[in-house]
Structure 1
Amino acid sequence: MQVTETLNSGLKREIKVTVPAQDLESRLVARLEDAKDKVRLKGFRPGKVPLSHLRRMYGKSFMAEVVNEILSDSSRSILEERGEKPAMQPEINMTEDEKEAEKVLDGQADFEFSMAYEVIPAIEIKDFSGIKIERPVYDVSDEEVDDQVKRIADSVRTYEDKDGKAEDGDKVTIDYLGKIDGEAFDGGAAEDSDVVIGHNQFIPGFEEQLVGLKAGDEKTIKVKFPDEYAAAHLAGKDAEFDIKVKKVAAAEELVIDDELAKKLGLESADKLREIVRGQLENQFGQMTRQKAKRQLLDALDDQYKFEAPEKLVEAEFQNIWNQVTRDLENAGRTFEDEDTTEEEAREEYQRLAERRVRLGLVLAQIGEEQGVQVSEDEMQRSLIESIQRYPRHQQQEIYDFYRQNPQALANIRAPLFEEKVVDELLSKADVTDKKVSREELMADDEDEAEAEKPKAKAKKKAAPKKKAAKADDAE
């Protein structure tokens, strides 16, 4: 087999491979010899079928198998011999001329093909103990725990029917019919709907207009849907709701005690508070970690500047772009609605794709050098969590798909591996904790969350560079 490098430019490589016809012939003969003792043909005793007869019957199909083996084995061996890691599966090109292909299968011509691929660049990992991170830490207060306990208790609160007018905190049972420009709209009608005044479950201005109504009253409520309302056909529209009050019920006194805790399946009010505190600390802890991770990845982004494989960047950009355009379409919006243009959005997401790929390669290299591993148990837990998002009747099918599809499993492993590498880096970086208020911890959290998952929507024209720079999803 003759191997010739025909392109070596930057990260791009092309290799031409020629397998002489005599090599193909020797492989074919070996396969025919092996089949001779196994094949059963009418008129021949076992093991006595002439090779010439086997060649006439199976020559081309066996040669096709030989060619496929060469493609698979040689691609891997060539890369190993060259000491190169391809960024993606090499692209194999061979003749599309049927006559030439027939000659190869008949053993009358050399088999030639080429491999085109990009290599993963050599990355020299720098000392990351010097990375400085200021980790914002927030201590959950007793008052926050009490407020959350009250909200939980309110969710199981009981109500007693009353004859008087509805007040703030009362539960009002209503029938309603929503209209825009005098026409009823889909999803705008319901019967026996319970509305607790002050819970803000309906669009702004709706619940407040129920105050003062009593059972049997009818009223037309006028409201305006928010400009950012999820249903694009209703967003920003003025609407009227014809209301009929069925009954009004007052909330019973809210008492936080062991009896309430038992309604929630817990043994005591103290246990309820303990669980709530743990949930809040975990919630704010995730925010803390996310901000620390963002600082870490920003530091790595500053440290490592290298050419990223073009094909990987293309694939990452396409993933982002498909999500962006799909989300805009679902919301009934355009790039102009997001104060940008398609060209500007493409430029921004291209930069983001390049950053993601570079950081992904850096994290992969660090993980490899630090011996980071994702255990089978961790994979199994994550796989089960993913499957549980699907309807129960589909879960076994989804599970089988993942277990039989290495690439799908790789998509489960990638975020687990990334988080473990981040943990490894944070354990060795120069991390200083800084006590902050709740407001400080959550400041700009919406913008930063948008930057972390930039696929959600197109960016505002005023801040694309800032948001793209913060994005920290390095998958």
Structure 2
Amino acid sequence: MPKVERKDIDNLNAVITVTLEKSDYEPKFNTELGKYRKQANMKGFRKGKTPVSVLRKMYGKGVLADVINEMLQSELYQYLNENGLNVLGQPLPSEEQEPVEFDLKALQDYVFKFDIGLSPDFEVKGADESETYEKMAVEVADDMVEEDLMAARKRSGNRESVTEMVKDNDMVKFAARELEGETVKEGGISTEFSVLINNNTNEAVREALYTKKQGDTIRLNLLELEEGRDEDYVRKYYLNLEEADADVTFNPEFEAEILEVNRIVPAALDQEFFDQAFGEGEVASEEEAKEKIREQIAGFYNNQAEALLSRDIQERLLELNPLELPEAFLKRWMAASNEGVTAEQIEAEFDGFAKNLQWSLIRNKLVSKFEIKVEEGEVVEAARRRIRSYFGGAPMAGMEQIVESTAMRILQDEKQVEQLYEEVLTDRVFGALIEKVSIAEKPVDLKTFEAEVEKARASNASSAAAEEEE
């Protein structure tokens, strides 16, 4: 029977020695050669009658290597599991390992040595009620509610022609004529087109339009009217020229009359609007609509505040739980696991790798501490949430059918299922932590809060870019 022994180098490194005696592997070796014999169809021999000596000469070393490797892996990982060893990375052939040569003429005992890196033994600090964390709380101002209600009314509103002065987000229809100097060019281009007046519109033009209404005229440089519009766009959408008109030249200066101003008229505060904006029967009055919006805004900022809180908790746990790691072993493992990576790259990336590993070990301890288990249904619901987020989270007719079918497709991808599982597990860990530790709410104004959110996004973007480079 194979013999497995462990020798501790220190509390983070050990050597596992696996001894396979001839009597351990020879029966399996002969059995595998026998399988080859049954299947072999070699010239000069009837099928299944090829002499074992011939097969041994042709395939013996490969078969023996496969048998040895299979038994070796089985014994090694069975030992690790049975002894509850928390191994980092994967076992690596020991630097003390002598070269192994398979001699079919004289089968012998084989000794294999593996270096392993061990997870440090620790208890997580900072994960109980004695630790206090601050959570930012944004007060939802009345003007924020009013603004969101108006935005919802405009989304459900209709564009109507108005005779008032132009405002932002108006759709203005122009009848424009090409100029030559200060006068309309004889035989020049005449065209009609519409422009949505917003931040994309030339600032000087916007300011001038605020004093204009239907029937008024304004001078426009079509090449400068909207940001990001090149000459091809101007020719096609402003001048209505076809590809056949490629030889037509024009002066970008035009005199334009405002033919029509169309403005979104907000939906009335009636039951039809309430049902469309909040779901049938959910809201029946303006007051209820405002309260619903206040809850939605509060929920939005609370989700962001909890994300920031989770970030702060993670950083604090990393600070309170510095872990000693088997660095030399891990650098060898990184080199073995990443073909083509240089020693310089490993050195440059090791600190980031070690920090991620530190957090992974802390998180795994917390999973055990809080007895967290992720159920299949949680992963499925996480897939649904991911799809809903693509729609901005707002309910739409027929959306749930799309959500369900798309989520089911995602769940066929093993890699995406693993990502979803990790997301759910991490969320569950932070949820358990937030319930366990002491939380002190810190009221902040919206400007301060948004600055902190932007800072966190920038940090995440920087980390993601660094990971891609790695």
Question: For the superposition of Structure 1 and Structure 2, which TM-score range results when normalised by the shorter chain?
Answer: 0.5 to 0.7
Q: Deviations over 1:118-163 (max 9, x none)?
A: 2221122346221112222234244322210111222333222357
Task: Give TM-score, length-normalised by structure 2.
Answer: 0.64
> Which shows bigger deviation, 282-291 or 389-398?
389-398
How far apart, in 1, do the equivalents of 2:23 and 2:410 lie? 47
What SS is found at the alignment partner of 2:107?
Answer: coil
Equivalence map 1:98-247=2 (5 Å): 103=103, 108-126=107-125, 128-161=128-161, 166-173=166-173, 194-197=195-198, 200=199, 207-208=206-207, 210-212=209-211, 219-220=220-221
Answering whether residue 434 of structure 2 is matched by residue 449 of structure 1, we say no
Mapped contact 1:94–1:113 kept (Cα < 8 A): no
1:256 aligns with 2:255: no
1:400 aligns with 2:388: no
Aligned partners of 1:365 and 1:437: how far apart in 2? 36
Q: CA deviation at 1:371?
A: 0.7
SS across alignment from 1:444: helix
Q: 1:75 to 1:218 in 2, by over 3 A?
A: farther
Q: 1:282 to 1:210 in 2, by over 3 A?
A: same
Q: Which residue of 1 aligns with 2:303?
A: 286
CA shift digits 1:357-414 (9 cap, x unpaired): 3222112112112211111111222245557869999977654331xx5xx5433222
Q: CA deviation at 1:453?
A: 4.9
Aligned partner of 1:419 in structure 2 is: 427
Residues 26-61 of structure 1, C-alpha deviations (whole Å, 9 max, x = no match) = 33346678x69x9689999x9x99988997898666
Superposition RMSD in Å: 5.0
Q: Between 373-382 and 149-158, report the one with greater CA deviation.
A: 149-158
Structure 1: stretches of 5+ with no match in the other structure:
177-190, 227-240, 317-342, 459-475
Gaps of 5+ in 2: 177-191, 229-251, 335-343, 392-401
TM-aligned CA deviation for residue 315 of structure 1? 10
The match for 1:15 is 16
Report the identity percentage: 19
Paired residues of 2:13 and 2:115 also in contact (CA < 8 A): yes
Alpha carbons 2:136, 2:449 under 8 Å: kept: yes
The 3-state SS of whatever aligns with 1:90 is: strand
Deviations 1:247-277 (A, max 9, x none): 5424254343334334546455646445433
The amino acid that maps onto 1:25 is E
Name the CA shift for 1:95/1:134 in 2 (closer, same or farther; >3 Å): closer
Structure 1 residue aligned with 2:319, among 302, 305, 316?
A: 302
- Length, aligned pairs only: 390
Task: Output the TM-score relative to the length of structure 1.
Answer: 0.63
Write out per-residue CA displacement over residues 403-442 of structure 1, whole angstroms, 9 at most, x where no aligned residue. xx5xx54332222212211121221212223444333433
Q: Which residue is 1:468 aligned to?
A: none
Please say if residues 133 and 430 of structure 1, whose CA atoms lie closer than 8 Å, have aligned partners that are also in contact: yes
Q: For 1:62-93, what per-residue CA distance to the aligned partner results, in whole angstroms no more than 9, with x for missing partners?
A: 54542342233122123235542122233358
Is the partner of 2:87 in helix, strand or coil? coil
Amino acid at match of 2:118: V
